[in-house]
């Protein structure tokens, strides 16, 4: 590609709204442009990288036996209605009507489309397992789009859907995808942490995000320093240590308490005891109106995601209002650990770590003392509903959890029978009976992966493309002013193309060497080849790696061998 | 790819709505499925062909220096409003609103998106010319979708947009694209006729369709038997022969005429003269209410497209109503060739081919006789407004025009200053002034091209893929029943993959040789490799070309050389 006619040229400035390094550099170097917020053009240089990332993912997916195909972009809305996802997909769904008033969804994911396809074709156990995937545009009607390619409204996603006979078979596929994702990101030069995460209404233990640590990422998670455990704060577990195992269990009693003692801080001040010696209640409401009281040790916070799973609240939880509390016959700060009617008590595992709690049945001028879980009260549901925090003991009981931030580049999770059941998608098993497919789902955002590579590989001069995804391998620069030099560069360009080497050739006349060098650094191809008077005289080319300071003179007669070795 | 787990398997039947051979075969062989009418899944086999067609087009486009990029799928509707295309794109535009009520078009083409991108980036004459293209989904809200992939509502289009400094530069690019399209279709094995066609409201002489002759195509055109001239009937020209050049010009007179002489047939019967000796008028109305009278020789039909261009009727024409005629003071069958007020007369070139016309100023019991154009009347506008017909003399004055039918697989046309003017897209020219881009546009439908290949290459057993686009090159069949045979086939499969040969391996157990052969023929890969007891015994493989009747035994030791030569 000749740089002289490449559209567009590099720019001195990036748009003021570019709030991270990837957006800034991709914009300046001419890889992307925004159309409207969150919708991007991939320009010639950017699209080449996009294609290379796709091709790399395709190679690795195909190696596993997964089969690439593609669905229409407009999904019949009836399919989304079948699975009740028109309002609960976890993202805002865009809808469109055609001239015959047929309704369609602009797909954000494609479970329904794949399941509908599969159920309309006869499948026997002999045809299984199979994993179907596509690279296709996805739409998310995000309220705010920011961070350039990191959070957009329209993007290319590789989404894969596996169809298995049993949960056991699914586990094999899940592990295969896990390893494939690891390999994909390894090849892209992205070190990933595999983070346990919440599988929403589908639940189950198989749900992981592939996260690249980065300050600009929106994913927060907790992990052990050695990475052996990593989980989103939504689902992170920790080891519960006993608080006062040596204390003797004392008799329950109601004690007087001054009226000013209202909050946990007041408790600590008044009793001169740490928060973990007190009981705490937090009240939530499910979307279908159930009142849930989470009872927990005073130093811990309730994790609404864990609490929702504990009570099977498919639509999630929201904090109870003063009205809700009034219905229970109480008010904020006076919720009891037992005794309220018309609600479900969920007790955290931490209730079993303390002897002789204070609190639990507080009135205006009294509170309860020496409260022991199991003796003085029990909760209908017992579960881990506590929010893990940095510094807590990891599930391995040895390390402390540390907090990390990163960019989620991929995720894998089980769908189980969720979709196959709702859509009645089945196969004929060996015994002749019809059985539902056990499914899994595996996604990677291509544009976000591209931006993450840029976040990781850049310096103050510009982009630094890893070889596997560089738009071109060689940036050929010709020094201006001398026709013989230009002729030599033209000849070299031709030679390199004949050797199938990808070259961006800065053939511009009347542009200074300094500008050309700066552009080459900004665009960030792995190798810069320079042709000038000196190299012509010595029948050589001056080569510099993007990441190196030194240059190297290579004889033209040796260049083919050099390329074979290095490119 | 192992056929055992390929999704889906071949089917015995095709859907009843499949009304052409391509839909039928692509469906049965497992290449495509319909989601809703006009929206197709490309299944694993189908997508491989789709990709190969794209890659071939990409290679040829890149060879010309054109630059691939991609726009967002949702186009801001304001851009389509800027060019007045929300209601006049020539296809029904789908529109969608996001949660913030921002409006978008689902692009049917992308002129606005490219022009908007280009105008927002500084361009100098030094950066030109350039041609930007993309492969991207396009949406057409067709009232009826039929013909499988031949006419759909959603498809991948390669659309290219060229930006030139002048019309002269554009002509160079146009010719380059013409030749590139020829080469693309040649490589795909598709013989194309390049057919002049109508450029609608943009006009101009540069507008051609690439058409593959086929009975299932929707494009009708006229051409000379040698193909040196081909044009859509909308724009087809022909040679006007003089009808009676030797007749003496006679004096004009009004003659009596029986009341029953009303139509052209009556004329012929009463005067015993052919239709071409009579005058005929056809009345149309423009969308902005102008009345247009087309005056033409009695044996010819008015071509509304030509007539519309003659009077610059951007929105096209519709037949005048009885009311319109009443306003002119006349009625159907009594329109005069001259004298009506409040209308525009357009005279066809054929008016000059006849001496002593009959008709032109007809009353209830009289008509005019010996009417001569130029002496007795003239029209405000003179133009070729006649519909060419099969059998007419071609523009070369030698051959007769024949009528053809075909599938339009690509089109190229000038946009001129149309979009750059409406959207104020300009560059800085050598003299420092800002000038509008002179543009061209070049489209190919990928799915329709795929279906056209199938229409051309098939037999009663199934598909016959040309090598360049075959989903795999080799269909490896193992005969069932013998573990040693299966092992040999497995080994061969591995060997072929290591040699980067694309293989579809029918590894199914318990499926008869007959079924496997039938499936291989239906799927239509170029080569069938067979492994059975006999070939294992002779350490060879039996090879059959899809199009051949004979098979060939090739020693395994010679296979690598055979593949290098043939695949």
Query: Following DSSP, what letter does each residue of A41-92 receive, concatenated?
Result: EE-HHHHHHHHHHHHHHHHHHHHTT-EE-B--SEEEHHHHHHTT-TTTSSSP
Q: Is B119 on the interface with A (CB under 8 A)?
A: no
According to the model, what pLDDT value does residue B19 have? Answer: 86
CA distance B171 to B169: 5
3-state secondary structure of B242: coil
Q: With bands split at pLDDT 50, 70 and 90, how would you rate the model's confidence at B89?
A: low
CA distance A121 to B24: 16
Domain with CATH 3.40.50.800 in chain A: 472-566
Average the pLDDT over B204-223 and give the result. 93
According to the model, what pLDDT value does residue B202 have? Answer: 79
> A461 vs chain B: nearest CA distance in angstroms?
22
Domain with CATH 3.30.930.10 in chain B: 16-189+418-454
According to the model, what pLDDT value does residue B132 have? Answer: 98
CA distance B409 to B452: 8
Structure tokens at B482: 């013998």
CA distance A531 to B441: 37
Do residues B286 and B311 lie in contact, with contact meaning Cβ atoms separated by under 8 Å?
yes
According to the model, what pLDDT value does residue A87 have? Answer: 75
Q: Is A433 on the interface with B (CB under 8 A)?
A: no
pTM over 0.90: yes
The residue of B40, B72, B144 whose CB has the most chain A CBs within 10 angstroms, and thus the best one to mutate to test that interface, is B72
According to the model, what pLDDT value does residue B90 have? Answer: 61
Structure tokens at A292: 């849930």
Q: List CB contacts of B432: < 8 A, sequence separation 6 or more.
A: none
Nearest to A41 among B33, B46, B71 (CB): B71
CA distance B108 to B91: 8
According to the model, what pLDDT value does residue A246 have? Answer: 96
* Chain A residues closer than 8 Å to B47 by CB: 68-70
The residue of B6, B10, B67 whose CB has the most chain A CBs within 10 angstroms, and thus the best one to mutate to test that interface, is B67
Domain with CATH 3.30.930.10 in chain A: 45-236+403-454
According to the model, what pLDDT value does residue B93 have? Answer: 86
CB contact (8 A) between residue A73 and residue B154: yes
Confirm whether the ipTM is greater than 0.85: yes
Residue in A closest to B115 by C-alpha: A35
According to the model, what pLDDT value does residue B14 have? Answer: 87
Residue in A closest to B511 by C-alpha: A126
CB contact (8 A) between residue A40 and residue B72: yes
CA distance B445 to A261: 75
* Chain A residues closer than 8 Å to B176 by CB: none
Q: What is the pLDDT of residues B242-300, one digit of tens each?
A: 999 999 999 999 999 999 998 899 999 999 999 999 999 999 999 989 999 999 999 99
Do residues B96 and B74 lie in contact, with contact meaning Cβ atoms separated by under 8 Å?
yes
Q: In the block, which residue shows the tokens 């669905």?
A: A71
Q: With bands split at pLDDT 50, 70 and 90, how would you rate the model's confidence at B91?
A: low
* Chain B residues closer than 8 Å to A139 by CB: 74
Residue in A closest to B33 by C-alpha: A117
Residue in A closest to B2 by C-alpha: A65
Which CATH architecture is the domain A253-383 placed in?
A: Alpha-Beta Complex (3.90)
The fold adopted by the segment(s) A45-236+403-454 is BirA Bifunctional Protein; domain 2 (3.30.930)
Structure tokens at B317: 């024409």
> B535 vs chain A: nearest CA distance in angstroms?
27
According to the model, what pLDDT value does residue A351 have? Answer: 97
Q: Is A120 on the interface with B (CB under 8 A)?
A: yes
Q: In the block, which residue shows the tokens 């608080």?
A: A243
| Window B:78-107, CB contacts with A under 8 Å | 92, 94-96, 98-100, 102, 106
| Window B:527-556, CB contacts with A under 8 Å | none
The residue of A28, A41, A165 whose CB has the most chain B CBs within 10 angstroms, and thus the best one to mutate to test that interface, is A41
Q: What is the pLDDT of residues A366-409, one digit of tens each?
A: 999 999 999 999 999 999 999 999 999 999 999 999 999 999 99
Element (H, E) at A556: helix A556-566
Element (H, E) at A498: helix A483-498
Q: List CB contacts of A453: < 8 A, sequence separation 6 or more.
A: A53, A188, A189, A190, A465, A466, A469
Q: B16-189+418-454: CATH homologous superfamily?
A: Bira Bifunctional Protein; Domain 2 (3.30.930.10)
Residue in B closest to A40 by C-alpha: B72
According to the model, what pLDDT value does residue B16 have? Answer: 82
Q: What is the pLDDT of residues B110-154, one digit of tens each?
A: 999 999 999 999 999 999 999 999 999 999 988 887 779 999 999
Q: Is the pLDDT at B391 greater than 70, yes or no? A: yes
According to the model, what pLDDT value does residue A88 have? Answer: 66
CB contact (8 A) between residue A7 and residue B76: no
Which of A530-539, B51-60, B193-202, B399-408 shows the lowest per-residue confidence on average (mean pLDDT)? B193-202
CB contact (8 A) between residue B127 and residue A68: no
CA distance B556 to B548: 21
More confident residue, B506 or B219: B506
* Chain B residues closer than 8 Å to A75 by CB: 35
Return the closest-CA partner of residue A42 out of A55, A26, A28.
A26
Q: Which stretches of chain A score pLDDT less than 50?
A: none
* Chain A residues closer than 8 Å to B127 by CB: 4-9
Q: What is the pLDDT of residues B42-52, one digit of tens each?
A: 999 999 999 99
CA distance A487 to A384: 73
> Could you tell me what percentage of chain B is helix, strand and coil, using 3-state DSSP and rounding each to the nearest 5?
30, 30, 40
CA distance A206 to A176: 13
Domain with CATH 3.90.960.10 in chain B: 253-383
Q: pLDDT above 70 covers what percent of chain B?
A: 99
Which CATH architecture is the domain B472-566 placed in?
A: 3-Layer(aba) Sandwich (3.40)
According to the model, what pLDDT value does residue A445 have? Answer: 97
Q: Is the pLDDT at B203 greater than 80, yes or no? A: no
CB-neighbour burial class of residue A249 (10 A; exposed 0-12, middle 13-18, buried 19+) = exposed
* Chain B residues closer than 8 Å to A143 by CB: 99-100
Longest dimension (CA), chain B: 100
Structure tokens at B510: 């318990």
Do residues A104 and A63 lie in contact, with contact meaning Cβ atoms separated by under 8 Å?
no
- Dihedral of the CA atoms B57, B111, B203, B64 (nearest 10)? -30
Q: List CB contacts of B179: < 8 A, sequence separation 6 or more.
A: none
CB contact (8 A) between residue B132 and residue A7: yes
């Amino acid at each position: 590609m000749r740089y002289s006619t490449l559209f567009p040229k590099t720019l001195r400035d990036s748009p003021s709204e570019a709030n991270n390094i990837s957006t800034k550099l991709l914009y300046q170097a001419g890889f992307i442009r925004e159309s409207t917020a969150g919708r991007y053009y991939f320009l010639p240089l950017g699209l080449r990288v996009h294609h290379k990332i796709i091709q790399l993912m395709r190679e690795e997916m195909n190696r596993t036996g997964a089969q690439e195909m593609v669905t229409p972009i407009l999904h019949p809305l009836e399919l989304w209605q079948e699975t009740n996802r028109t309002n609960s997909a976890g993202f805002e769904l865009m809808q469109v009507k055609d001239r015959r008033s047929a309704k369609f969804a602009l797909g954000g994911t494609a479970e329904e489309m794949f399941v509908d396809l599969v159920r309309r074709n006869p499948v026997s156990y002999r045809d299984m397992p199979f994993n179907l995937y596509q690279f296709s545009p996805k739409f998310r009607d995000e309220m705010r789009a920011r961070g350039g390619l990191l959070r957009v409204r329209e993007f290319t996603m590789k989404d894969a859907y596996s169809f298995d006979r049993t949960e056991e078979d699914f586990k094999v596929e899940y592990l295969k995808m896990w390893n494939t994702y690891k390999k994909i990101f390894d090849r892209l030069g992205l070190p990933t942490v595999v983070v346990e995460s919440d599988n929403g209404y589908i639940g189950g233990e198989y749900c992981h995000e592939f996260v690249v640590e980065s300050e600009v990422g929106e994913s927060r998670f907790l992990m052990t320093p050695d990475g052996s455990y990593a989980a989103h704060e939504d689902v992170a577990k920790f080891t519960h240590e006993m608080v006062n195992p040596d204390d003797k269990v004392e008799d329950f009693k109601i004690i007087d308490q001054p009226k000013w003692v209202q909050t946990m801080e007041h408790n600590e001040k008044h009793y001169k005891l740490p928060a973990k010696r007190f009981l705490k209640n937090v009240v939530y409401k499910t979307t279908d109106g159930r009142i849930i009281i989470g009872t927990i040790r005073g130093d811990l916070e309730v994790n609404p995601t864990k609490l929702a799973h504990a009570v099977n609240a498919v639509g999630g939880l929201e904090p109870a209002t003063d009205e809700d509390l009034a219905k229970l016959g109480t008010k904020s700060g006076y919720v009891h650990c037992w005794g309220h009617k018309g609600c479900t008590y969920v007790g955290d595992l931490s209730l079993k770590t303390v002897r002789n709690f204070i609190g639990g049945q507080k009135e205006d001028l009294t509170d309860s003392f020496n409260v022991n879980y199991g003796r003085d009260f029990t909760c209908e549901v017992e579960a881990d509903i506590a929010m893990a925090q940095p510094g807590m003991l990891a599930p391995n009981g040895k390390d402390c959890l540390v907090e990390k931030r990163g960019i989620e580049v991929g995720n894998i999770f089980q769908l189980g029978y969720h979709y196959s059941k709702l859509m009645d998608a089945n196969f004929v098993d060996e015994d002749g009976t019809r059985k539902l497919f056990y499914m899994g789902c595996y996604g990677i955002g291509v544009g976000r992966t591209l931006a993450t590579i840029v976040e990781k590989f850049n310096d103050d001069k510009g982009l630094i493309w890893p070889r596997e995804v560089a738009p071109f391998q060689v940036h050929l620069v010709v020094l201006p002013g001398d026709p013989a030099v230009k002729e030599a560069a033209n000849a070299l360009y031709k030679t390199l193309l004949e050797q199938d080497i990808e070259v961006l050739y800065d053939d511009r006349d009347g542009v200074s060497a300094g500008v050309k060098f700066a552009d080459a650094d900004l665009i960030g191809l792995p190798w810069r080849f320079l042709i000038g008077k000196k190299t012509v005289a010595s029948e050589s080319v001056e080569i510099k790696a993007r990441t190196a300071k030194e240059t190297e003179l290579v004889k033209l007669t040796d260049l083919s061998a050099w390329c074979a070795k290095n490119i």
